[in-house]
Amino acid sequence: MLLLVSIMMLVPGIARAGQRVHGVVLAVTPKTGNVIVRHDAFGSMPAMTMEFRIVPRSRALQLQAGATIDADVDTETEPWTLSNVQSTSGQRLTDTAPRRRSQGRPGQRRAQR
């Protein structure tokens, strides 16, 4: 991922500062103010998952995994920075349904423990 960002910084026009990005927050690191976002394509950037810094950092503390966000992206910082972050309520990222135990293949007996 770092290599991709480095290449994009060297090639003009791939992504510029001041564009809007839309995506889903996958993880938040409150200590650094960074978030992992699965974002839609914007500008010349394809849709992907990457790390961003949120400014102000206090805004990152208000986000939760699963939140849908829209934000201004600044690609001239490292990592790229999101500001003016607007979010909607989150969605579950994983299924919380109870797990079933595997019964093995039909006709096969389970080993005694």
Tens of pLDDT, residue by residue over 20-38, are: 999 999 999 989 999 999 9
Contacts of 20 (CB under 8 A, 6+ apart): 42, 70, 71, 72, 73
Entry pTM: 0.66
CB 43 within 8 A of CB 11: no
Token pair 């394509």: residue = 41
CB 35 within 8 A of CB 28: yes
pLDDT grade for 4, boundaries at 50, 70 and 90: very low
The C-alpha atoms of residue 19 and residue 79 are separated, in whole angstroms, by: 15
